[in-house]
Structures are given as C-alpha cells and as structure tokens.
C-alpha cells in the first residue's frame, strides 16, 4: 500500500469519525420512535430495550477512531476527538455538547489505552476490546452528565455494541489486506 493510499484511507476514516459526533447529537434530539419530554429521542436496540438514537453513531465512532489511529497515527486520532466534539456545538445545545464532549473524551481515552497496546497483537481483538471498554465508559458518562440518570444504560451499551459487531467483518478484511500488502500500523 502506498503512503498516498494509506493517507487517503486515513482521511476517509477521519471524516467519518468526525461526522459521527455531531450526527449523534443531532439524532438524539430529532430522530426516534419516541421522544422523552426534555430528554432524548429513543430507538429500540433489542426487544424491550430502548436507547437514545445517537447510540448508533457513537458505536461506529469508536471503531473509526481506531482506524484513524491505525492509518494516521495517535496525534491525528486525538485531534479528531477534539474536532468532533467542537463540531457538536453546531447542532446541539450547550448542555448536550458538554456532556457529549466529556463522555466522548473519557471513552476515547479509555479506547486508546486499550487499543494502542493490543493493535500489534491483533487488529480485530484490539478494536473489539477497545470499543467494548469505550462504549461502556461513554454510555455511563454521557447518560449521567446529559440526563442525570442511568435509565438507558443497558440500551446504550447494546446499541453501541451492535455497531461494533457490524464493523468487525470490515476490520477483519482490513487486517487481512494489510497483512497481504505488508502494511503496519502508523
């Protein structure tokens, strides 16, 4: 894989990652099967289990952050977390932006601490483990900071987990392709 192609893939992952945060904040206010008065709009994530609708975008963001780090390096991944949080200010009220940014910074830091040492041992394992840690931290912190309640914690975890599980076949394919081409993490 050429450096140009690696960088192009990294920029594509970066754009998707940065878009996930404001998209999640917009969804939580506007899209759902039911919207709680003065609260989030909800979607079903499993039979009898509801979650704020932004959950799907955050689950995807956890995976994309790992891919940004793999292609562009740790500084790019860290900078993108901050940029995504700032973009949220364009689509969400300040209280939601602060809760989202704080939760996302905490969860991405946890994700990074798990992903970084594991990535050379196995990309799929690193993404799965770091995303699992990140989604639990993000769910707990966001719900508590945004709504002062953990009522939707199980739904948050399950909704994010769906997105991580759906992304794992792509991660497996990328790992195999990288190995075939002799690509190592950035």
Q: How confident is the model at residue 89 (pLDDT cuts 50, 70, 90)?
A: low
Q: How confident is the model at residue 166 (pLDDT cuts 50, 70, 90)?
A: very high
The tally of domains found in the chain comes to: 1
What does the chain look like in DSSP terms, one character per residue? --HHHHHHHHHHHHHHHHHHHHHHHHHHHH-SSEE-TTS-EEEEEETTEEEETTHHHHHHHHHHHHHHHHHH-HHHHHHHHHHHHHHHTTTS-HHHHHHHHHHHHHHHHHHHHHHHHHTTT-HHHHHHHHHHHHHHHHHHHHHHHHHS--TTHHHHHHHHHHHHHHHHHHHHHHHHHHHHHT----
In a domain, 137, yes or no: yes
In a domain, 156, yes or no: yes
Mean pLDDT over residues 52-74, rounded? 88
pTM of the predicted model as reported, rounded to 2 decimal places: 0.83
In a domain, 186, yes or no: no
In a domain, 55, yes or no: yes
Q: What pLDDT score was predicted for residue 13?
A: 93
Query: Is the pLDDT assigned to residue 111 strictly greater than 70?
Result: yes
Residue 156 lies in domain: 3-181
CATH of the domain at 110: 1.10.1760
């Amino acid at each position: 894989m050429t450096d140009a192609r690696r960088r192009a893939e990294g920029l594509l992952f970066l754009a998707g990652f940065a878009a996930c945060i404001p998209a999640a904040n917009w969804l939580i206010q506007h899209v759902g099967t039911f919207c709680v008065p003065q609260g989030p709009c909800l979607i079903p994530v499993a039979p009898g289990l509801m979650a704020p609708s932004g959950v799907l975008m955050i689950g995807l963001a956890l995976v994309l952050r790992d891919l940004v780090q793999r292609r562009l390096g740790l500084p790019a991944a860290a900078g993108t977390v901050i940029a995504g949080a700032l973009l949220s200010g364009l689509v969400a009220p300040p209280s939601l932006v602060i809760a989202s940014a704080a939760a996302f910074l905490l969860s991405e830091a946890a994700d990074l601490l798990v992903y970084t040492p594991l990535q050379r041992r196995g990309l799929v394992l690193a993404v799965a483990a770091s995303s699992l840690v990140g989604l639990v931290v993000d769910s707990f912190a966001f719900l508590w900071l945004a709504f002062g309640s953990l009522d939707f914690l199980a739904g948050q975890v399950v909704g994010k987990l769906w997105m991580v599980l759906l992304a794992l076949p792509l991660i497996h394919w990328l790992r195999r392709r990288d190995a075939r081409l002799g690509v190592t993490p950035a």
